[in-house]
Structure 1
Amino acid sequence: MSRIVRAAAIQISPVLGDDGSGTARKVCQSIRDAAERGVKLAVFPETLVPYYPYFSFIQPAFRFGGEHLALYERAVVVPGPVTGMVAEAARETGMVVVLGVNERDHGTLYNTQIIFDATGEILLRRRKITPTYHERMVWGQGDGAGLKVVDSAVGRIGALACWEHYNPLARYALMTQHEEIHCAQFPGSLVGQIFADQMEVTIRHHALESGCFVVNATGWLTDEQISQVAGDPALEGPLREGCFTAIVSPEGKLLGTPLTEGEGMVIADLDFALITKRKRMMDSVGHYARPELLSLLIDRRPAQTVHAYGAATEPGGVEALS
């Protein structure tokens, strides 16, 4: 018998100017709204909580120090109050939730994707492996430990953020783990229509190549928020359009109508029989692979600042490295 999962890609605006809790409350309300429509998997945009660092795209680095520091103060600690709120909403609704956050780990911020199971348990916390262009002044780099597919209440889920989808080896790392649903996240309200066009090509290609569903969520800024972020009408243009919230089948077909402006949800029923139908023809990590010719080496060890070998104790009980 075929298995069917109802999924929602949620396009949503952040709450700007508060401590970040406002956006988290919007996320939890959206989870409950989706549950009323029978949704069992909800995917939210890239670094939605507290908000994507749009300021870094339109300002030179030497000018956005104050806004960068404000993002530090509003960023999410994992685990912490925000993850607790979302975990409770996931548990209450029996829903799997994929959420993008700015994660603070002591003195560094990361672009982090969190997968909550329907029990509220955090199944995966992964960090974007290479921030893109302007983002490198805001976030640190992730590592291979996050290139992982996890078993959830709705199936095997993998996730990548934004231009990680242009790293074919990162995508292949997830494909080899047989992801059934790929959760993609982009910032939205950025670059213009070309960003949305490129996004569509990217997520439809991954669905075809991997033989899985892709649920893609982008953020949205209102006109008022664009003015607030830009601070200058001349800088507003780069913060418009660039939204493409959509769900794609393993055959590369758009399920439902993509959302390119405003807040809302794209909801679709994912029929897992389509995965087998696609992979019968082309399984890129199975019968269509040539491992004796082409293979992938992955270092899944978490990055560590300190490697202590042969710790010895000096007089006074102080450990020294030998």
Structure 2
Amino acid sequence: MRSVVVSIIQQAPIHLSLNESLEKALHYGNEAAKKGAQMIVFGETWLSGYPAWLDHCPDVALWDHEPVKEAFAKLYNSSISIPGPEIQKFQQLAKKKKIVICLGANEVRKTGKGNGTVYNALLTINADGQLVNHHRKLMPTYTEKMLYGQGDGKGLKSVDTEYGRVSGLICWEHWMPLSRQALHDSGEEIHVAVWPKVHEMHQVASRQYAFEGRCFVIAAGQMMRVKDVPDGLKLPDHLIGKPEEFLLNGGSCIIAPNGKFIMEPVFDREEILMAEINLDDIYKERMTLDVTGHYARDDVFDFKVKRKRKV
């Protein structure tokens, strides 16, 4: 039996504070490894926080609005570069603890072309400490376009790791049929789905992905409170005076290749979530559906992926 113990770190980062978030991530990564985790997942832009204020603060789309420009500057300054010292810390942790780490992060290029653009990135580090995949979200969703640049197809693939073949998508990339097919074609066994929060429709997307791809899905949600909204941004009336109310409340879950929950969604609490999966279950389910094999029609459809990095 090829079993893997997976963990989701459903803990809030220190919003837009890179050093404090890094310290917290490494702490909980160590704690999960002590509990026996072999693969550890952090949610969308965990380092250093998802900009949920885009969905709640009424003035964010005003042109030349100084509070939003200041919030963007904080987002930029709390983002990581790749390669860089922050990602090296995760590489060292992965190698020391013999764990695979999947990390959502805000990323910037600090030098050269495109060094004013932030990318929504998903990084996969193998148990030997090597960064084996670096994916940038293809299409920022709705208001995210004010903050993030478009990614590319370079990271749109599955990679071999110590504990199975791993792929990943970010948020609404799961509604892009060709993104899904690209990863299915690359032979995934474990799929990492990172979200701001895994509410009902995101559960639908995650379960559908598991069923379609006949793979395990690790769906990781974020935690964020009203008090984490950057200073200067106007709150809607229903959030004023409620600093501890959740804007993002987790919902992390783990789904089997038949689309059923192995671990039901967990909301409204911060913790290290753990579950064991058996990779042999994948191939039992592919008897009836294999969208890369007997349920594919290469004689009817042509499909290719351009895997060139933009910048």
- Correspondence for 1:9: 8
Structure 2: tracts of 5 or more residues without a match = 110-114
Aligned-partner SS, 1:151: strand
Post-superposition shift, 1:231?
4.8
Quick one: which of 208, 215, 218 aligns to 2:218? Answer: 215
Structure 1: how far apart are the matches of 2:20 and 2:288? 47
- Alignment RMSD, CA only? 2.0
Structure 1: how far apart are the matches of 2:302 and 2:271? 41
The answer (yes or no) to whether the contact 1:199–1:244 under 8 Å persists in 2 is: no
- Correspondence for 1:200: 203
Residue identity matched to 1:51: G
Post-superposition shift, 1:16?
2.6
1:172 matches 2:185: no
Question: Is 148-157 or 49-58 further displaced after alignment?
Answer: 49-58
- Correspondence for 1:31: 29
- Correspondence for 2:46: 48
Structure 1: how far apart are the matches of 2:99 and 2:170? 21
Can you list the C-alpha shifts for 1:107-135, whole angstroms capped at 9, x where unaligned? Answer: 21100111111111111111000000011
Post-superposition shift, 1:173?
0.2
The answer (yes or no) to whether the contact 1:110–1:127 under 8 Å persists in 2 is: yes
Can you list the C-alpha shifts for 1:267-311, whole angstroms capped at 9, x where unaligned? Answer: 11110111011001111110111111123221112225xxxxxxx
Structure 2: how far apart are the matches of 1:143 and 1:261? 34
- Correspondence for 1:60: 61
**Aligned ranges for residues 1-322 of structure 1 at < 5 Å?**
2-16=1-15, 18=17, 20-57=18-55, 58=57, 59-62=60-63, 63=65, 64-105=68-109, 106-188=115-197, 196-225=199-228, 231-234=234-237, 236=239, 240=247, 243-303=250-310
Normalization by structure 2: what TM-score? Answer: 0.89
Structure 1: how far apart are the matches of 2:62 and 2:179? 28
Normalization by structure 1: what TM-score? Answer: 0.87
The answer (yes or no) to whether the contact 1:12–1:218 under 8 Å persists in 2 is: no
- Correspondence for 2:112: none
- Correspondence for 1:191: none
The answer (yes or no) to whether the contact 1:98–1:115 under 8 Å persists in 2 is: yes
Structure 1: how far apart are the matches of 2:83 and 2:256? 33
The answer (yes or no) to whether the contact 1:210–1:250 under 8 Å persists in 2 is: yes
The answer (yes or no) to whether the contact 1:226–1:236 under 8 Å persists in 2 is: no
Aligned-partner SS, 1:9: strand
Residue identity matched to 1:217: A
